[in-house]
Structure 1
Amino acid sequence: MTKRQYHLLELFYIISGSFLTAVGIALFTTPAKIASGGVSGIATILFHSFGFDTGLSILVLSVPLFLIGVAIFGKEYGIRSLAGTLFLALFTSLLNRIFGYGGVLSYENPQSILLSAIFGGVMMGIGVGLVLRSGANTGGTDIVAQILARFTPLSMGSSLFLVDALVIGASAYIFSLEMALYATITVYITATVIDRVLLSFGTRSAKTVFIVSEKLQVIQKEILEQLGHGGTILSGLGMYTGLNRPVIMTVVSNHKVAQLTNIVHEADKRAFMIVQEAYKVLGEGFSPIEEETWAGLSDVTQSKPKKRS
């Protein structure tokens, strides 16, 4: 695959993923008053409170977050995030104009809310999964979660949960507790479907990646700046050439594997990569190692045999 074809494939994922996400927002969750976290959830609250167009709200809310993301993660990250944000806002507004703000279901039937929670979650899960596959994201509070994951002990998943929980909590106050529970269903379905989409492309759980390349310094710099990940430089010796071949070993979460592949591909088309499943990853940027330590000590304490009297 040529570099141009590679970028066209990425663009296809971003556009198609943004469109499917917009379908879930414009036709299902927003009309049903389901604020399922993120900027789209805030946009849903603003629409039902003040009548603001959801697509426009997504764009306006995402701009300052986009600028922060550029400042922290670099221009390449910013371009990808901007593309996802623009397409999502555009498609959401277009769908609102075409179908109206009432969606495609009749909410005189109570079952329509549950159907919107389910199908909205499925559509957004597929859409966001495709966008993440390209190495981009849909902007908004995804950026906030990535910032939290980088500068706090929270993992990416925990950061996303925290941000979504705040939005859902606000929806419980503004709409009702029942609507917040529907939103929780949507968030769960969305997260599950995202994992399924990423799994279908062979990116399951965290990955251990080994990289051998003559452009090691360039790749190392991009991993640090674009992904916000560290790694380890291992000493290696080429069996055929007998030359020293330093090897990068890094661990990345499932949704960043595609972005890492893009980085390596752009830096060195002759690079050699090995991607392996990481059963459990403990430490900075992933699960805190202290939790596992205390869990292990607790297991040992509980299984310690009692003294005989």
Structure 2
Amino acid sequence: MKVKQFLTEYALLTLGTALVAMGTYFFKFPNHFSTGGVTGIAVILSSIFPSISSSLFASVINVAFLLLGFGVLNRGFGVRTVYCSLLFSGMLAGLEWLVPLSGPLTDEKLLELFFGVILPALGSAILFNTQGSTGGTDILAMILKKFTSLDIGMALLYVDVLIAGSTLILIDIETGLFSLLGLVLKSVLVDSVIESLNRKKSFILVTSCPEEVCDFITHTLHRSATFWKGEGAYSHQDKWVVLTALSRAQAVALRRHLKAIDPHAFMLITNSSEIFGKGFLRA
């Protein structure tokens, strides 16, 4: 791996972990929002044992899952997960030491819920995009996947619902309802942010100038394309069909260029967040 790529990836992993840690520490923990996962368990345990902070519980549980993963999976969950998991625990401990909180930052619970969901969702999406994870129940999922045939996604969702729902009894009804709402928002937001981060434009062009179009794509945009000969169903004239995938900025540039060289070209442009291949996602 090139040094620049390595540094970029770990900078993104650090940023993603920091967003998760800040959203959790500043907004989830003070309000006792339990939206599932390790932090949700930590919130519940802290409400049962108020002398121990949620941050400490989360760090201990995270490290415990990490050790369990090492014992069961050996190196099966990768360096990135170890890095992010330890960094997350360290950040929670550091924030608790640097910025001790005695209660919520504001009196607006709904506002704090949004920030408590949005920041970790954004961070989780960045981590997912760089094949990282803060550990916790993700490691549990890997263990279950290794030894069972369960639908891991659904199993973890049920566990998260159980954790969030338990706050209705163990903390109070209002906090429990906020926690369940936060769980729903988290589920929707993480997927939406991941799709937004990965969103590209796929083009199918019908043009009379394939050489000029492909030359612009390959030499100016530094992408590749595939083209083949076609025939207009109405005009029966020879046409060329060009297939390519570009970033949003590159898509704008290609549209402008195509308008200049072939105003009558036909363009079919679609959004896609799952394009696999060189220069895009890794399968």
TM-score, normalized by the shorter chain, greater than 0.5: yes
- Which amino acid letter does the alignment assign opposite residue 174 of structure 1? L
Indicate if the aligned counterparts of 1:20 and 1:126 stay in contact, CA closer than 8 A.
yes
Matches within 5 A, 1:5-16: 5-16=4-15
Indicate if the aligned counterparts of 1:146 and 1:159 stay in contact, CA closer than 8 A.
no
Q: Given the superposition, is the C-alpha separation of residues 40 and 274 from structure 1 closer, same or farther in structure 2, using an over 3 Å criterion?
A: closer
Long gaps (5+) in structure 1 = 205-256, 262-270, 278-309
* 1:218 aligned residue: none
Q: Given the superposition, is the C-alpha separation of residues 149 and 88 from structure 1 closer, same or farther in structure 2, using an over 3 Å criterion?
A: same
* 2:197 aligned residue: 201
Matches within 5 A, 1:215-234: none
Matches within 5 A, 1:58-97: 58-75=58-75, 77-97=77-97
Report sequence identity in percent.
27
Count of residues in Structure 1 that have an aligned counterpart in Structure 2: 209
1:127 matched to 2:126: no
Post-superposition CA distance 1:55-85 (Å, at most 9, x none): 3322211223213323444416243222111
Q: Given the superposition, is the C-alpha separation of residues 32 and 203 from structure 1 closer, same or farther in structure 2, using an over 3 Å criterion?
A: same
* 2:3 aligned residue: 4
Give the deviation of 1:126 after TM superposition: 0.6
Q: CA RMSD in A?
A: 3.0
Indicate if the aligned counterparts of 1:145 and 1:160 stay in contact, CA closer than 8 A.
yes
Indicate if the aligned counterparts of 2:165 and 2:180 stay in contact, CA closer than 8 A.
no
Q: Given the superposition, is the C-alpha separation of residues 275 and 56 from structure 1 closer, same or farther in structure 2, using an over 3 Å criterion?
A: closer
For 1:158 and 1:13, the matched residues in 2 are separated by: 28
For 2:278 and 2:120, the matched residues in 1 are separated by: 34
Instruction: State the structure with more CA Rg.
Output: 2
For 1:52 and 1:102, the matched residues in 2 are separated by: 13
Indicate if the aligned counterparts of 2:20 and 2:123 stay in contact, CA closer than 8 A.
yes
**TM-score for the superposition, normalised by structure 1:** 0.59
Long gaps (5+) in structure 2 = 201-273
* 1:251 aligned residue: none
* 1:148 aligned residue: 144
Indicate if the aligned counterparts of 2:36 and 2:164 stay in contact, CA closer than 8 A.
yes
Indicate if the aligned counterparts of 2:31 and 2:104 stay in contact, CA closer than 8 A.
no
**TM-score for the superposition, normalised by structure 2:** 0.64
> SS of the residue aligned with 2:30?
coil
For 1:100 and 1:69, the matched residues in 2 are separated by: 31
> SS of the residue aligned with 1:31?
helix
